[in-house]
Chains A and B, each alone.
Chain A
Amino acid sequence: MAEVKLLGFWASFFAHRVIFALKLKGVSYEYIEEDLSNKSQLLLQSNPVYKKVPVLVHGGKTIAESLIILEYIEETWPEKPLLPKDPHEKALARFWIQYGAEKIPPSLSAYFRAVGDEEQEKATKELHEALKILEEQALGDKIFFGGDTIGLVDIALGALSYWFECVEEAVGKKVIEPGTLPRLHAWAQNFKQAPVIKENLPDHGRLLDYQKHKRENFILAKSTAQ
C-alpha cells in the first residue's frame, strides 16, 4: 500500500476537508504541517501552480485543490462511498459542492470584513440569502446533504459548522441560528458531533483566537485606511 502524505495548515478548512475524507475512509496518512510564511520545498514542488495547501501525495504522485483531492480519494478508496452512484444524483452533489465553493465565499468574506452597522447588515443579509438556498434546495428535510450519512457535499461544506462558528463569535453576530436557518443549524450540530468528524476538528479555542486576530486586523486596516 503506497504511502499517503497530506501537506496542510491547522486552521485551513480546505485541509480539514481532506482530513475528514481520509479519516472517514479509514486511510492512514502522514500529516505535514506547513508554515505558510515559509513554505517547504515539497509544497512548492508539489503545487507549483498555486503553491497552496492542501496537497495530497500518494505513492509519490501529487494532487492539489481540495475538491479535486476529495474526488481522488473517493475514486481511489471506493469502499464507504461518499458520492451517489447514479450519474444524475452525482451531478447534483457536484453542483452543490461547486455552489458552496463559488457562491458562499464572497458573501462570507464580506461578512467577516464588514465594519460598521450598515456594512455589517448588508453583508449578513447577503450571506443569509446564499445560505438559505443551501438550506432549502440542497439540504431540504435530510439530516445530511448526503442523506442519512455524511457525503462529499457535507465534507465540502463542513467549514460552515465548526469553522464558521468561530468566525461568527469573532464578528459578534450570528448568521446560522435556529430561528433563521433551522435546518442548516441542525445540520451544523449533527456534522460537528458525528463520529470521526468530532475527533478531527481543530481546537475550538485556538481557532477562535485565530479568527479574532484576523477580525481585529480587518478592523484595523479599515480604520487606518480612513
Chain B
Amino acid sequence: MADQVVLLDFWPSPFGMRLRIALAEKGVQYEYKDEDLRNKSPLLLQSNPVHKKIPVLIHNGKAVSESLIAVQYIDEVWKDKAPLLPSDPHLRAHARFWADYVDKKMYEIGRKVWTTKGEEQDAAKKEFLECISVLEGELGDKPYFGGKTFGFVDVALIPFSSWLSVYEKFGNFSVEAEHPKFIAWVKRCLEKESVSKSIPDQQKVYDFVLEMRKKLGIE
C-alpha cells in the first residue's frame, strides 16, 4: 500500500524547508502544497487547528505539526535510509539540545535584525553574531553538526542560510567576514541535492521580503 504524503508549506519558511530536506534525504515522494497565509486552506485549518500554522506533514491522512517534531517523525517512519538522529541516547540528546538552541535563537533574533532599526537593531546584530559564534564552537572541526554525516541539527539550521541576504542587507553586515567557518559549513550543505533542491535562492527570499515590507509600509 503506497504511502500518501502531503506537505502544507510556505516557500520562504525555514521551518517548512526543514521538512522538505528531511523528506528528500529519505527519498520520500510527496505532494507539496504552498499555502496563502492570508487565506489559509480548509485542509491547513483542519490539520493544525491549534496553531493554524505551516508546515504540516500529512501522512496517510494523519497530520503532524511543529517542524522538529515532524522531522523526528520522518526519521522514525523512514528509518532505513539516511538516519538524521544518531542511535545513542546521549548523542540524540546532544542533537536535540542544539536543534532546540537553533529554535530558541535563530528565528526571533534574525527577525529582529531585519525588522528593527537603530539601537534595537545593533543589539540584535550583536546577538545574532554571538549565536553564530556559539554554533561554530559546537561545529568545531566536524564537517557537519551531525559529525561525518548530515544530521538533525544540520537540517534544523541550514534553512536559515536562505535568509542570510535578508539579514546581511537589512542589517548591513557580513556574516562571512566574521564567521567564515560557518559559511563554509553552509556551502558544504548546499552541495547536497536534498538541501539545494529544498531551499530557495537567497536573492529570491530577499526580493520576497522587500515586497512584503513595501506592502506593510515599512521603511
A87's nearest neighbour on chain B, judged by CB, is B76
CA separation between A72 and B90, bound complex, in Å?
Answer: 7
| B89: A residues at CB distance < 8 A | 72, 75-76
CA separation between A137 and B49, bound complex, in Å?
Answer: 10
CA separation between A94 and B89, bound complex, in Å?
Answer: 17
| B76: A residues at CB distance < 8 A | 87, 90
Interface range for B: 20 to 34
| A75: B residues at CB distance < 8 A | 89, 92
**What is the 8 Å Cβ interface bit string for chain A, positions 32-51, against chain B (1 contact, 0 not)?**
00000000000000000100
| A68: B residues at CB distance < 8 A | 93, 96-97, 100
Q: Which of B86-132 contact A (CB under 8 A)?
A: 89-90, 92-94, 96-97, 100-101
Q: A49-B134, A91-B73, A133-B50 are in contact. Are A64 and B92 (CB under 8 A)?
A: no
Let me know if A95 and B93 touch, CB within 8 A. Answer: no
| A65: B residues at CB distance < 8 A | 96-97, 100
CA separation between A94 and B71, bound complex, in Å?
Answer: 12
Let me know if A95 and B65 touch, CB within 8 A. Answer: yes
Q: Which of A132-156 contact B (CB under 8 A)?
A: 133, 137
> Would you call B72 an interface residue if the criterion is a C-beta within 8 Å of the partner chain's C-beta atoms?
yes
> Would you call A169 an interface residue if the criterion is a C-beta within 8 Å of the partner chain's C-beta atoms?
no
Summarize B's interface: helix, strand, loop or mixed.
helix
What's the nearest-Cβ distance from chain A to residue B14, in Å?
17
> Would you call B69 an interface residue if the criterion is a C-beta within 8 Å of the partner chain's C-beta atoms?
yes
> Would you call B59 an interface residue if the criterion is a C-beta within 8 Å of the partner chain's C-beta atoms?
yes
Let me know if B97 and A87 touch, CB within 8 A. Answer: no
What's the nearest-Cβ distance from chain B to residue A129, in Å?
12
> Would you call B70 an interface residue if the criterion is a C-beta within 8 Å of the partner chain's C-beta atoms?
yes
Q: Can you sample 29 A-B contacts with CB below 8 Å?
A: A49-B97, A58-B90, A63-B90, A63-B93, A63-B94, A64-B97, A68-B93, A68-B97, A68-B100, A71-B96, A72-B90, A72-B93, A75-B89, A76-B89, A87-B73, A88-B59, A88-B73, A91-B70, A94-B66, A94-B72, A95-B50, A95-B64, A95-B66, A95-B69, A98-B66, A99-B50, A133-B50, A137-B49, A137-B50
Smallest CB-CB A-B distances: 9 pairs: A75-B89, A72-B93, A91-B73, A91-B64, A63-B93, A87-B76, A94-B69, A76-B89, A68-B96
Interface residues of A (CB under 8 A from B): 49, 58, 61, 63-65, 68-69, 71-72, 75-76, 87-88, 90-91, 94-95, 98-99, 133, 137
